[in-house]
Structure 1
Amino acid sequence: MGNAVSDQNLQLSYLKTRLNMFLEVLEALDPETAELEDIDRLIQMIDDLEMKYERFKKDWEKSR
């Protein structure tokens, strides 16, 4: 995938970028033609984002 992000500002930037990517995919999705795979992809994106947030959150709590 990529290098680990350890700086808090970079982590926030990463989360914002991934959230914007999710929003772009969501906006591009046509509700009339969306298929189950499209919904599964959105759910997977949210799950991945949540997992990354939880990982970063642990880092932030350690640095306090």
Structure 2
Amino acid sequence: MQNSPSNQVDDLKVRLNQFLETLDTIEPETADIEEIDRLISLVDDLEVRMGKMK
């Protein structure tokens, strides 16, 4: 069963908020590869979810 468009938008908002919260917690001077990989993973997930909405 596919999510309704409003549920998809809500899911996207949640994931975007998670990305922004993660981004806020990272210190640029001390960020390690795991933190950067986590950000990339969140962006990839957002891209997939947005693609499903088209």
Fold agreement, TM-score > 0.5: yes
What is the root-mean-square deviation in Å for CA atoms of aligned residues? 1.3
Measure, in 2, the Cα distance between the counterparts of 1:16 and 1:40.
21
Measure, in 2, the Cα distance between the counterparts of 1:36 and 1:52.
24
Following superposition, the deviation at residue 37 of structure 1 comes to 1.4
Aligned to 1:30: 27
- Compared with structure 1, are the counterparts of its residues 5 and 15 closer, same or farther at alpha carbon in structure 2 (3 Å cutoff)? farther
1:23-62 aligned at under 5 Å gives the runs: 23-57=20-54
Runs of 4+ aligned structure 1 residues displaced above 3 Å come to none
Measure, in 2, the Cα distance between the counterparts of 1:54 and 1:20.
18
TM-score (norm 1): 0.76
**Structure 1: which 5+ runs fail to align?**
58-64
Q: Please say which structure displays the higher CA radius of gyration.
A: 1
Alignment size in residue pairs? 54
Following superposition, the deviation at residue 5 of structure 1 comes to 5.0
| More RCO (CA 8 Å, sep 6+) | 2
TM-score (norm 2): 0.88
Following superposition, the deviation at residue 39 of structure 1 comes to 0.7
